[in-house]
Structure 1
């Protein structure tokens, strides 16, 4: 009975020690003053209203307790994994609202959730079948790493999906822009018309560039932001052509028509490449599923007759 309770007692003791450590770490006597508490006496504040007129009912939330711990773990994860520039680039390509630090915090939360779920399932197996604790600890650690990697894979998938949507919208928007400029509109008017009449990821990027141009940024710099955010070579070539035409004063209609034709050719080439990949993928079920079944149906009657004759 004592040997059966010793692992459970060790786990409970470790949880109790961790809780006492967190309480002692967060106590006012051991917690140092933060930046806001140090500079608050030197700031001018409005007179506080009477407590009889204002009743503060603020409560401490569970998220406020976990935020400092999650932030610290996210910083350590970023130092271990690195690749902050890659994360920022993929967040920009996926049009995500969170920052790189927020993404690392999400990775930590995913890792903790996966580890807790695996620990719960492993504790049930340990209770029923007596699974080895070192093996269970290794599995829980692998589950945490898998949770962090799964969040990273989801970010990459979101960025790739948005790039596919942009490339699907790109030829039509390029032709609309070429028609607008050929009809006599200026570059800004053509961009505003195309962004207003269309909807999608690329039109959103056009709206962002026009908003930056209205706030004082030059139009070439605002358009260069589209290629920097998307990271797609056809879009970058298209933007470079518009920028060069604006800066050098060349006829923009001919440039846009050529760029639209290049966009159509790029889309057609992408479809051909995707068709080739799908054709190779279709060979897998044909070779490993349909062909063996056909061979079995063709050879089984003859084998049955041979067995009967023998």
Structure 2
């Protein structure tokens, strides 16, 4: 590609982008009929009410969908048809406690894919300007960059789920002990749950706050904890919720159940620590073999070598 052709391509791309931005800005700043009329209709129920333009959106996905809505939604639908697994994505979003729908997550995947596409396209453009690379190979590399970006967002979601579950496991023994102390002091399960939720903060506290909100809306305590057991992706938390539900239904001592659950979690944490140490044993030997041992040998034998050089005629 000659410099003239590259300049024409860059100029056309920049001009097209500016035209699209100006056209979209004109549409955004033009208030719709609903935005102008609905504030004066006080008796109209707010169901289906349009979002006011003066309320800023904190989500970049919502902002991108507002500017490039139809192309992003259609591309997200294509990604959904190609990848599938909407149930798995919905389950992981619930486990990560993300207030995002599956369609919004697909839009995020498309945005990540576009970022990867842009990075690879910039590299291919620089390579073409330097005289290397072909059109077909550059296009294939751009498609690969798009696919890598889409899969990277899915992998990041899995890492978010893992990080949140690790936090929940770290908070669980303390929360269980606090619940046990509150119940042993004579409070009811709902009052104990309310006290612990107000006095603590964290991922598990947010889950318990959802359970408390369900109880306050009229749902039975056992049913609310059964819902927590179904939504939780951790076996220990699910067993804790089921134990609380059974204790409330059958009248068994709840404090003993909570103490036993906390002890089980601490024991599981110790076992996991021992297993991690066993798996890392080889890596722990690397500094000993490659750093400590050579220095020890050098300190032990270097004076003798110097002495041999000094005494040898």
* TM tier, smaller: 0.7 to 0.9
Residue deviations 1:39-95 (CA, integer Å, cap 9, x gap)? x9xxxx9999xxxxxxxxx89x97534111111111110111111111111111111
Q: Which residue of 2 aligns with 1:233?
A: 235
Answer yes or no: is 1:127 the counterpart of 2:119: no
Q: Is the 8 A contact 2:117 2:143 kept in 1?
A: yes
CA RMSD of aligned residues (A): 3.7
Q: SS of the counterpart of 2:97? A: coil
Question: What aligned pairs does 1:1-80 form with structure 2 within 5 A after superposition?
Answer: 4=2, 64-80=66-82
Deviation at 1:144, TM superposition (A): 0.9
Deviation at 1:238, TM superposition (A): 0.8
**TM-score w.r.t. length of structure 2:** 0.73
Q: Higher mean Cα deviation, 126-135 or 85-94?
A: 126-135
Q: Is the 8 A contact 1:175 1:260 kept in 2?
A: yes
Residue correspondences, number: 267
Deviation at 1:259, TM superposition (A): 1.7
Output the CA distance in 1 between the equivalents of 2:145 and 2:277: 36
Q: Which residue of 2 aligns with 1:276?
A: 278
Gaps in structure 2 of 5+ consecutive residues: 21-33, 42-52, 55-62, 309-313
Q: Which residue of 2 aligns with 1:36?
A: none
Question: What aligned pairs does 1:53-202 form with structure 2 within 5 A after superposition?
Answer: 64-202=66-204
Output the CA distance in 2 between the equivalents of 1:296 and 1:140: 53
Residue deviations 1:213-272 (CA, integer Å, cap 9, x gap)? 111222122212322333100111111111111111222222222222212212222222
Change (3 A) 1:295 1:271: closer
Question: What aligned pairs does 1:281-300 form with structure 2 within 5 A after superposition?
Answer: 281-283=283-285, 290=291
Q: SS of the counterpart of 1:208? A: helix
Output the CA distance in 1 between the equivalents of 2:138 and 2:292: 42
Q: SS of the counterpart of 1:129? A: coil
Q: Is the 8 A contact 1:177 1:190 kept in 2?
A: yes
Deviation at 1:205, TM superposition (A): 0.8
Residue deviations 1:11-65 (CA, integer Å, cap 9, x gap)? 78x979x99xx9xxxxxxxxxxxxxxxxx9xxxx9999xxxxxxxxx89x97534
Question: What aligned pairs does 1:213-232 form with structure 2 within 5 A after superposition?
Answer: 213-232=215-234
Output the CA distance in 1 between the equivalents of 2:64 and 2:189: 52
**TM-score w.r.t. length of structure 1:** 0.73
Q: Is the 8 A contact 1:238 1:259 kept in 2?
A: yes
Q: Which residue of 1 aligns with 2:263?
A: 261
